[in-house]
C-alpha cells in the first residue's frame, strides 16, 4: 500500500464564504500529559519540525490480511456485542503489510475527524511560504457561543486579539476547537471543500456537507458528513506518511496531530506504552465516538489505525472504553503477527 497523492497547490478549495456559525460537540478525553494550549498553538514552525523530524519514508509493505484474521475479527465482533454498538475498524501495519478490517467499508458519521483534512487543505491550497498561516483572524463572541466547543477561541485574550491561521489549525486539531474549524472552512469556501480535497487525494468516500455543530447529528439514515474506517485511515496515512503534502506541510500537520489533547481515554488508553501517536478524535449524537491516526511503535515503522463507533439511541453516551479496547486488541494482534 503506497500512500501517494498530489502535492500540487491546485487552489480547488480556495474560494471564500461566510459561515454565519461555528462549532461542534467537543471531542473529550484529555491525554495523560497534554501540552498547554499556548505550547500547542506554538507548534507551527520550528517546534513542529523538531517534534516530527523522525517521520518515516513512504515505502511500505504490500497489504495482506493479518495472520489469525478470523480470530481478531471474532474478537472485534464480540466487543461490538458487549458494548451494544456498531464498531468499524481499519488497521494497516506498514512494516509487515498486515491489515485488520471489521466493517471497514461501512459508512459512519465523521464528526471532528474532518478538522485534520481542513487544516491540510489550508496548508496545500492556501498557504504559500507561511504567509497565509501568519495571517491574523478575528471572530465574534456569537461565533464562540454557537460553536458549542471553543477551548481556545473562547479564551478572552484570543477573542480580543484573534489568532493566526496557523494557530487556528493547531486549535482545531490539537484541541478540537469548533470555532477554529469553522473559520478554516470559511476560508476554504465551505464544508464541501473538504469533500473536494478528499477526492483530490483519491478518497472516493469521505464527504463533509455541513458546518459545526450541525454536522455531528449523526442520524443512522443520514447520507451526509460520512466516511468509512478504510477511507479515512488511508487518507490520514496519505497526509502523514505519503506525498499528498510537501514535506514542510506534512511535518507541520503531523506536529499538530502529535500534540492532540483529546484521546487520553481512547487510543492513548488502549495502545501500548511507548507508542508515539499522531491522531484526531471526533464525537457526536448517537454515541458516535471516533479516533484515527498514525502510531509509531518503538524502533519500528508506523501503524495506521482507524476506529469509528456509533449506537442506535440518539442519547447514547460516547463509549471511550470501546475505542480504547479496540485499539488494544488490534495493536496486540499486529504485534503477535510480526515475523
Residue the block writes with cell 469553522? 182
Is 198 annotated as catalytic? no
22: which 3 cell numbers?
461555528
Pairing mode, strands 276-283 and 163-164: unpaired
Residue the block writes with cell 478549495? 13
What is the Cβ-side half-sphere exposure of residue 197, based on CA atoms within 13 angstroms? 36
Contacts of residue 234, defined as CB under 8 A and 6 or more positions apart, other chains included, come to 1, 3, 90, 92, 203, 304
Active site residue: 112, 200, 285, 331, which one? 112
CA 91/CA 97 separation, integer angstroms: 10
- For residue 163, list its beta bridge partners: 137
From the list 119, 232, 236, the residue with the least C-alpha distance to 172 is: 119
Contacts of residue 50, defined as CB under 8 A and 6 or more positions apart, other chains included, come to none
From the list 305, 116, 142, the residue with the least C-alpha distance to 201 is: 116
Catalytic machinery residues: 112
Amino acid at each position: 500500500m503506497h500512500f501517494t497523492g498530489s502535492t500540487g497547490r491546485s487552489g480547488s478549495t480556495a474560494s471564500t464564504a461566510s459561515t454565519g456559525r461555528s462549532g461542534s460537540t467537543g471531542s473529550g478525553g484529555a491525554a495523560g500529559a497534554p501540552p498547554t494550549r499556548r505550547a500547542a498553538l506554538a507548534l507551527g514552525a520550528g517546534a513542529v519540525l523538531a517534534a516530527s523530524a523522525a517521520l518515516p519514508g513512504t515505502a511500505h509493505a504490500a497489504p495482506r490480511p493479518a495472520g489469525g484474521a478470523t480470530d481478531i475479527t471474532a474478537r472485534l465482533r464480540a466487543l461490538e456485542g458487549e458494548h451494544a454498538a456498531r464498531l468499524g475498524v481499519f488497521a494497516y501495519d506498514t512494516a509487515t503489510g498486515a491489515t485488520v478490517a471489521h466493517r471497514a467499508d461501512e459508512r459512519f458519521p465523521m464528526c471532528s475527524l474532518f478538522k485534520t483534512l481542513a487544516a491540510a487543505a489550508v496548508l496545500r491550497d492556501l498557504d504559500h511560504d507561511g504567509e497565509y498561516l501568519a495571517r491574523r483572524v478575528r471572530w465574534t463572541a456569537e461565533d464562540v457561543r454557537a460553536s458549542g466547543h471553543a477551548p481556545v477561541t473562547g479564551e478572552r485574550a484570543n477573542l480580543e486579539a484573534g489568532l493566526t491561521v496557523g494557530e487556528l489549525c493547531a486549535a482545531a486539531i490539537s484541541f478540537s476547537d469548533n470555532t477554529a474549524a469553522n473559520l478554516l472552512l470559511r476560508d476554504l469556501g465551505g464544508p464541501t471543500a473538504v469533500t473536494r480535497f478528499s477526492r483530490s487525494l483519491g478518497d472516493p468516500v469521505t464527504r463533509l456537507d455541513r458546518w459545526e455543530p450541525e454536522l455531528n447529528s449523526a442520524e443512522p439514515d443520514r447520507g451526509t458528513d460520512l466516511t468509512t474506517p478504510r477511507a479515512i485511515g488511508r487518507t490520514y496515512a496519505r497526509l502523514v506518511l505519503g506525498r499528498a503534502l510537501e514535506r514542510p506541510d506534512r511535518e507541520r500537520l503531523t506536529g499538530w496531530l502529535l500534540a492532540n489533547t483529546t484521546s487520553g481515554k481512547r487510543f492513548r488508553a488502549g495502545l501500548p506504552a511507548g507508542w508515539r501517536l499522531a491522531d484526531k478524535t471526533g464525537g457526536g449524537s448517537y454515541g458516535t465516538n471516533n479516533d484515527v491516526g498514525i502510531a509509531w511503535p518503538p524502533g519500528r515503522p508506523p501503524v495506521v489505525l482507524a476506529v469509528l463507533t456509533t449506537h442506535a439511541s440518539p442519547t447514547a453516551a460516547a463509549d471511550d472504553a470501546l475505542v480504547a479496547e479496540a485499539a488494544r486488541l488490534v495493536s496486540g494482534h499486529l504485534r503477535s503477527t510480526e515475523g
